[in-house]
Amino acid sequence: MNTIRAFIALLIFPGLLYALPAGLLMLGLERKCKARFQGRIGPPISQAFYDVIKLLAKSPVSRVGSDLPLLIGLPLLAVGSTVGALALLPVFSSESGFVGDIVLLVGLLEMPPLAYILAGYASRSIYGEVGSTREAVVSIVSNVPFLAALIAMASAAGSMHSAEIATSTPLMVRVPAVIAILLCLPMKLRITPFSLANAEQEVLAGPLTEFDGARLALWEMAHALEWTALIGFVITFAIPVRSTSWIVNAVVYVVLSFVLVLLLTLLASSTARLKVSQASGLMWKWGGTVAVIALVAAFFTRGGGH
């Protein structure tokens, strides 16, 4: 029974069958809304599907000096680990998952940025290397408040089981922790104020400059899955209650995911790209402060409760 449930989570919902189309729709929605905010009509919401199909049907050009298995393996690693992370999201009540799954979940969520950084270096392009360096800085900076907030939630809930952390963290810890995670979200998704690594035209296409055809399509899919996984992560850890009906849980999860996409798009279309020093300064200052508040709150709740 548990194995079947795990496979359903991995392959159907919130895993591959839901997450890939939903992620591509999120990317389409982002482009459409950004265009509307800028006074343009913009591409259809299904745009990302066309892009992926077109890229899959292109014939890549051979080239010297870069490692082909690595160029195919890294995007596959990003896709695979994100699907694994999606399967571990505590969308439903606390029976799902296992003790300690939060560690695995965070580890899997960290794989795509790592693969992205390695891809930039493996492609041996100067633009890829610049993009990778920026991504490395950004991911270190965003992970400090992100992990601190998660540690605060886990210690306040007194558990390493993600479903239990999601449902039993007290409100005074949950609010600052979720705010800190939300602050990290645009940085982790590399959208505009923090689009340093993939800065269009500035460093060509960042780490993905040398990827073409199906390999680029794999990265598009990894990016789409990353959107569903990270946004889903924030939502599942922000909502304190779970309904007994799985349909209600699923619908709330899906609807809130798309609402969050709209908010992120609003942020992306109303800001300009920051410099690396500005972005990291902003994250240390605000993300760090909120994460410390969450940690202090967790310290006091633990002192009282356990």
Partner 1 sequence: MSGRNSGLIWRLVEIARRRSAWLYHFNAGACNGCDIELVTCLSPRYDVEQVGIKLEGSPRHADILCVSGPVTRTTREALETIYGQMPEPKVVVAIGSCPATCNVFAGSPVVDGPVDKIIPVDIYVPGCPPRPHAIIDGISRAIEKLALRRSELAVGDK
CB of residue 80 to partner 1, shortest distance in Å: 16
Token output for 181: 């995670």
The four Cα atoms 194, 197, 198, 202 give a dihedral, to 10 degrees, of 100
The residue among 129 and 210 lying less far from partner 1, judged by its C-beta, is: 210
The residue among 60 and 193 lying less far from partner 1, judged by its C-beta, is: 60
CB of residue 74 to partner 1, shortest distance in Å: 14
* Calpha distance 225→89 (Å, rounded): 13
* Calpha distance 11→17 (Å, rounded): 6
Per DSSP, 12 falls in state T
The residue among 90 and 206 lying less far from partner 1, judged by its C-beta, is: 206
8 CB-contact burial (10 Å; exposed 0-12 / middle 13-18 / buried 19+) = middle
Token output for 294: 């969450």
CB of residue 76 to partner 1, shortest distance in Å: 10
Coil, strand or helix: which one is 287? helix
Confirm if 128 and 134 have CB atoms less than 8 A apart: no
CB of residue 245 to partner 1, shortest distance in Å: 37
CB of residue 196 to partner 1, shortest distance in Å: 14
* Calpha distance 47→207 (Å, rounded): 23
The residue among 21 and 158 lying less far from partner 1, judged by its C-beta, is: 21
* Calpha distance 301→297 (Å, rounded): 6
Give the amino acid at 205.
A
Q: Cis before residue 14, ω within 30 degrees of 0?
A: yes
CB of residue 10 to partner 1, shortest distance in Å: 23
The residue among 203 and 279 lying less far from partner 1, judged by its C-beta, is: 203
Q: Which residues bind partner 1 (CB under 8 A)?
A: 31, 35, 38-44, 47, 49-51, 53-54, 56-63, 68, 72, 127, 200-201, 203-205, 208-216
The residue among 2 and 62 lying less far from partner 1, judged by its C-beta, is: 62
Q: How many CB atoms lie within 10 A of CB 150?
A: 24
Confirm if 116 and 258 have CB atoms less than 8 A apart: no
CB of residue 220 to partner 1, shortest distance in Å: 10
The residue among 152 and 218 lying less far from partner 1, judged by its C-beta, is: 218
